[in-house]
Chain A
């Protein structure tokens, strides 16, 4: 929302704050100002000038004009291309050295052999309106005087989001009321309600649904002349970003910008019957709107209708069929109030956001409709001389219940604010904002809320706390530590566990990445996951991001491909949620997973074992068991991670079809399941008092024997004296046959109560060898 500084100053006479300082104070007390821009600063230098003579320039449509630009600039020769440049015309003169709208810099230049000592300007060139058909035509002004009604202004832009709860701040008067309150100045209300005519209304209004339209007021005018607005009105609308259209429409926009009441003028002669009907649209009813689009409506949309059908989409946009045109002589001027939610629904459903809908969806004040009409009576007389009212006020409404006064205890207010505050100051602040203040009990106020703050904004004492707090300034509240019992907070063990996992992964050289929760259908399918098993985003940004990930793999896979362009090898990991459908439950299941990857451009199997080491660091004693591969896994390099009897994840090399160059291995662990198991219980066993005995054994086996299986056999055969079975190395080659390898293990034996005799060691060794030989393995001597 853009606010004109000059406009605010008219509404708060005596306001001396400079535009930037005013904006700063508005930010601190009311709503966030995003910037202050000067509007038409060149108007400081532009003056009125009278064209004295005009000569054609040969071979050009331009003319050479001599103008009287008043005492400062004197008589000037200018080259002008405007068709309306004629002797006697009063227009605008821009002296050389001035930059006007669009960055156009005016200089003394030679044009077609004529020295042009300045420029005669159109409204568009001066940024006062959109008219570039000819130079300005002024009246009632002396050469050398400033252009009337078009002084330099400043535009203060306020963040719309910070006005969401303030229907009144969608007009200058509302903001002026705030400014008056914090500068202790008087607010000059421009509305003269006595201008509303008495007597029976000429037209009728029939509101069929008071919930959606609590109030509809209107006035009927005749003897209307439609034409351009006066320059001051055009310039003011232009300053705040509204497009001047015609005197009638401009006045409605002006009042909307002033009083926050959107209005609409119908050509009364284009309406059928003399009754305005406010009703829900019929299913499939069509309306051609002012923007040229035709909308198909439904009963969730509210329309203004005449005897034939819809003529406007209530509170959103007018219809093309009854719009003001040059030939319009009679108008019905609507000033109504519509339910915010209904406007919002319609505006969202039909994708039409207008200055009107933006205001109505903030819940405007029903008491404001007639005030806006009174203002219109005054302004219409200015812009359309001879205009006449027909009949009295058309007004139908269901009065909202009086807002309940709010009880406000001074003691409570101080406690919430965190500083003492005097009763009189509270009263002064509330009254300056038009609240009614009574004191039925000592130190307790009964506060009544003005109608424009009561629609949604203010209903509880906390709302009043804000009014007082912002006006005294939160800078007056000292920060203060509360005195609280020294209670230990609940500890989020699972989160700490995730942090510990991250630390471990990072310590082992892995760098943490963070990937999106979204994947595409194609990605899901690529990794063998059916799209329909995923939660689907109803309004995705793109098809690439239409599903919620059920695995971290697509993201990690992309990370591997992306980074392989820059690094010959790397390690990375992510901790993130898998999101699984969970029919019958309110929410889907979010399962935190760790996925780690090692990539090597010229790698062998090391990557796989680096990840296995990471798994073993996280889950001491976990096993990697061979298992059936999935489509994206290397069919001969895939295992399941099993810890304490539970399968917690997978360890695999990525199938070469999924990676162009190099190899990548991936570890995927279900952190929820891992956390549920808890840390390994720690148990102390007394240190050995007697020395242990060790011997090595080389076992001859097939090439695809599993190391862990052999170790398990050894352990099983070694019996209770077995302390440790440690794999040392494997060997292939002569003298072993080609289909055989030998695997060497170191076996450690011991007993808690004596040193083992050589006979005891030998017997265990024999038992192991016997067991291995029985299972078909050989022993290499």
Chain B
């Protein structure tokens, strides 16, 4: 008797669960059949009246039905939850192509960026990064660099003179002398900074530009050592292998003095307008430090020697980014500066 009631309940419950159209109807069905006062609970209570053997059999049967219904119910319930979540998420549709609000980072000046890069390269090679004053003494800017007052290399046109014989440094080379005075030998330094030349400004000339001075003083520094550092420097700047060549160049503070050329990166040495068909681009003056300069810095040239170089940072920046007008760098024009 109970058997048929049980199977009847099961059949009804199954069809009620299947028919439930939403989570509320499902819950109703659960209460009706599986609830504490539901149909199965009713059977459970009625079971108590049966003889023990029959009670055990019906009990097992009841459990099987209960388990079956619970499973069906949970499955359907999960399905409804899944549906509800999907509907909610769909309602949260977002136009992912909308622009993001808020500030963007600004840009660092391209000269700053290249300075920082080179500072990192040279720091990793054991060089200190030093600064010197922009207003210099005549002695540090010229005399100490083996450029006496009557030397043709000291053309009055190029120098901004101030009061009391002070001047705006025409190159970063006076920092060589200041570094020697401060640190003595051995010495490895670079000195990036702003320099000044009394020149009319046009697309390729500026009275204010940036250089990076470098100097190494040790025992028995050779031209080969200098070449190594120059090549390393340029490979770091251009992030590729470079071919360089040295040729004679005259700078009073070095002896011998060189111009270092780099094989044109655009044409690979075949010749193009950038290298004026020569296959080479003049990049930096360098040389072995003149004994007079060492002496001016308080270093004994019999004990120590070294090399020095000067890199035109402004020119390097222009080369790297293909900037065609030098004036843009000091223009403060954000249309230009925000490109970096």
Which A residues form the contact surface with B (CB < 8 A)?
27-32, 161-166, 340-341, 344-345, 348, 361-362, 415-419, 460, 462-463, 465-466, 469-470, 474-475, 477-482, 484, 486-492, 494-495, 499, 502-503, 505-517, 535-541, 545, 548, 555, 558-559, 562-563, 566-567, 570-573, 577, 579, 586-588, 590
Q: Are the C-beta atoms of B106 and A509 separated by less than 8 Å? A: yes
Q: Are the C-beta atoms of B137 and A587 separated by less than 8 Å? A: yes
Q: Are the C-beta atoms of B305 and A514 separated by less than 8 Å? A: no
The one of B150, B218, B230 that contacts A484, using a Cβ cutoff of 8 Å: B218
Q: Are the C-beta atoms of B329 and A514 separated by less than 8 Å? A: yes
- Nearest-Cβ distance from residue A25 to partner chain B, whole angstroms: 10
Q: Are the C-beta atoms of B332 and A559 separated by less than 8 Å? A: yes
Sample of 20 more A-B contacts, CB < 8 Å, known A477-B223, A480-B224: A27-B247, A30-B248, A164-B250, A166-B250, A462-B288, A466-B255, A474-B245, A474-B258, A478-B227, A495-B119, A503-B108, A509-B103, A512-B337, A535-B135, A537-B160, A541-B207, A571-B103, A579-B134, A587-B133, A587-B136
CA distance A482 to B208 in the complex (A): 35
Instruction: Scan B228-251; emit 1 where CB is below 8 A from any A CB, else 0.
Output: 101100000000000001111110
Instruction: Classify the interface of chain B: helix, strand, loop or mixed.
Output: mixed
Q: Are the C-beta atoms of B334 and A570 separated by less than 8 Å? A: yes
Q: Which residues of A contact B126 (CB under 8 A)?
A: 484, 486-489
In order of increasing CB-CB distance, the 6 nearest A-B pairs are A418-B224, A341-B150, A466-B256, A418-B222, A474-B246, A559-B332
- Nearest-Cβ distance from residue B159 to partner chain A, whole angstroms: 8
CA distance A484 to B185 in the complex (A): 13
Q: Which residues of A contact B135 (CB under 8 A)?
A: 535, 548, 579, 587-588, 590
CA distance A301 to B156 in the complex (A): 18
Q: Which residues of B contact A465 (CB under 8 A)?
A: 255-256, 288
Q: Are the C-beta atoms of A511 and B107 separated by less than 8 Å? A: yes
* Interface residue? B257 (CB, 8 A): yes
* Interface residue? B290 (CB, 8 A): yes
- Nearest-Cβ distance from residue A772 to partner chain B, whole angstroms: 37
Q: Are the C-beta atoms of A479 and B228 separated by less than 8 Å? A: yes
Interface residues of B in 311-338 (CB under 8 A from A): 329-335, 337-338
CA distance A460 to B292 in the complex (A): 11
Most buried by A among B129, B162, B247: B247
Q: Which residues of A contact B331 (CB under 8 A)?
A: 562
Q: A475-B245, A511-B338, A558-B332 are in contact. Are A489 and B127 (CB under 8 A)?
A: yes
Q: Are the C-beta atoms of A469 and B223 separated by less than 8 Å? A: yes
Q: Are the C-beta atoms of B106 and A508 separated by less than 8 Å? A: yes
Interface residues of B in 128-156 (CB under 8 A from A): 128-131, 133-137, 149-150, 152-153, 156
Q: Are the C-beta atoms of A509 and B104 separated by less than 8 Å? A: yes
Q: Are the C-beta atoms of B106 and A587 separated by less than 8 Å? A: no
Q: Are the C-beta atoms of B106 and A572 separated by less than 8 Å? A: yes
Q: Are the C-beta atoms of A460 and B291 separated by less than 8 Å? A: yes
Of the listed stretches B14-22, B88-96, B194-202, name the one at the interface; the rest are far from the partner chain: B194-202
Q: Are the C-beta atoms of B231 and A536 separated by less than 8 Å? A: no
Q: Are the C-beta atoms of B119 and A535 separated by less than 8 Å? A: no
Q: Which residues of B contact A495 (CB under 8 A)?
A: 119, 129, 131
**Can you show 29 pairs from A to B with CB atoms below 8 A apart?**
A27-B247, A29-B247, A32-B247, A341-B149, A361-B152, A462-B256, A465-B255, A480-B222, A480-B225, A482-B225, A484-B218, A489-B128, A492-B131, A495-B119, A506-B105, A506-B107, A511-B338, A517-B134, A517-B194, A535-B163, A535-B166, A537-B160, A538-B161, A539-B160, A539-B161, A541-B199, A562-B333, A563-B334, A587-B135
* Interface residue? B188 (CB, 8 A): yes
Of the listed stretches B3-11, B37-45, B75-83, B109-117, name the one at the interface; the rest are far from the partner chain: B109-117
* Interface residue? B296 (CB, 8 A): no
- Nearest-Cβ distance from residue B154 to partner chain A, whole angstroms: 9
Most buried by B among A163, A558, A562: A562
Which B residues form the contact surface with A (CB < 8 A)?
103-109, 111-112, 116, 119, 123, 126-131, 133-137, 149-150, 152-153, 156, 159-163, 166, 168, 183, 186, 188, 194, 196, 198-201, 207-208, 218, 220-225, 227-228, 230-231, 245-250, 252, 255-259, 288, 290-291, 305, 329-335, 337-338
Q: Which residues of B contact A555 (CB under 8 A)?
A: 332
Q: Which residues of B contact A341 (CB under 8 A)?
A: 149-150
CA distance A499 to B116 in the complex (A): 8
Chain B's closest residue to A463 (CB) is B255
Chain A's closest residue to B149 (CB) is A341
CA distance A486 to B186 in the complex (A): 13
Q: Which residues of B contact A508 (CB under 8 A)?
A: 103, 105-106
Q: Are the C-beta atoms of B246 and A540 separated by less than 8 Å? A: no
Q: Are the C-beta atoms of A513 and B119 separated by less than 8 Å? A: no
Chain B's closest residue to A507 (CB) is B105
Q: Which residues of B contact A537 (CB under 8 A)?
A: 160-162, 168
Q: Which residues of A contact B259 (CB under 8 A)?
A: 32
Q: Are the C-beta atoms of A462 and B291 separated by less than 8 Å? A: yes
Chain A's closest residue to B188 (CB) is A489
Chain A's closest residue to B231 (CB) is A479
Most buried by B among A419, A541, A555: A541
- Nearest-Cβ distance from residue A457 to partner chain B, whole angstroms: 10
Chain B's closest residue to A469 (CB) is B256
The one of A417, A462, A510, A590 that contacts B134, using a Cβ cutoff of 8 Å: A590
Q: Are the C-beta atoms of A415 and B222 separated by less than 8 Å? A: yes
CA distance A515 to B194 in the complex (A): 11
Most buried by A among B105, B149, B194: B105
Q: A489-B128, A499-B116, A590-B134 are in contact. Are A536 and B105 (CB under 8 A)?
A: no
- Nearest-Cβ distance from residue B180 to partner chain A, whole angstroms: 13
Q: Which residues of A contact B220 (CB under 8 A)?
A: 415-416
Q: Are the C-beta atoms of A161 and B250 separated by less than 8 Å? A: yes
- Nearest-Cβ distance from residue A519 to partner chain B, whole angstroms: 13
Q: A470-B248, A579-B134, A588-B135 are in contact. Are A514 and B103 (CB under 8 A)?
A: no
Chain A's closest residue to B210 (CB) is A514
Chain A's closest residue to B256 (CB) is A466
Q: Which residues of A contact B112 (CB under 8 A)?
A: 499, 502, 512
Q: Are the C-beta atoms of B223 and A474 separated by less than 8 Å? A: yes
Q: Which residues of A contact B107 (CB under 8 A)?
A: 506, 511-512
- Nearest-Cβ distance from residue B256 to partner chain A, whole angstroms: 3
Most buried by A among B123, B156, B200, B224: B224
Q: Are the C-beta atoms of B109 and A462 separated by less than 8 Å? A: no
CA distance A474 to B256 in the complex (A): 11
Q: Which residues of A contact B153 (CB under 8 A)?
A: 164
CA distance A517 to B208 in the complex (A): 8
The one of A164, A417, A469, A516 that contacts B152, using a Cβ cutoff of 8 Å: A164
- Nearest-Cβ distance from residue B26 to partner chain A, whole angstroms: 43
The one of B133, B223, B247 that contacts A28, using a Cβ cutoff of 8 Å: B247
Q: Are the C-beta atoms of B162 and A535 separated by less than 8 Å? A: yes
Q: Which residues of A contact B228 (CB under 8 A)?
A: 479-482
CA distance A512 to B258 in the complex (A): 35
Q: Are the C-beta atoms of A492 and B129 separated by less than 8 Å? A: yes
Q: Are the C-beta atoms of A577 and B337 separated by less than 8 Å? A: no
CA distance A193 to B248 in the complex (A): 33
Q: Which residues of B contact A562 (CB under 8 A)?
A: 331-333
Q: Which residues of B contact A577 (CB under 8 A)?
A: 134
Chain A's closest residue to B248 (CB) is A470
Q: Which residues of B contact A165 (CB under 8 A)?
A: 250, 252
Most buried by A among B107, B116, B330, B332: B332
Chain B's closest residue to A166 (CB) is B250
Q: Which residues of B contact A489 (CB under 8 A)?
A: 123, 126-128, 188
Q: Which residues of B contact A462 (CB under 8 A)?
A: 255-256, 288, 290-291
Q: Which residues of A contact B305 (CB under 8 A)?
A: 416
- Nearest-Cβ distance from residue B278 to partner chain A, whole angstroms: 8
CA distance A190 to B208 in the complex (A): 48
Q: Are the C-beta atoms of A515 and B223 separated by less than 8 Å? A: no
Q: Are the C-beta atoms of A588 and B131 separated by less than 8 Å? A: no
The one of B116, B230, B332 that contacts A515, using a Cβ cutoff of 8 Å: B332
- Nearest-Cβ distance from residue B102 to partner chain A, whole angstroms: 9
Q: Are the C-beta atoms of A162 and B258 separated by less than 8 Å? A: no
Q: Are the C-beta atoms of B123 and A418 separated by less than 8 Å? A: no
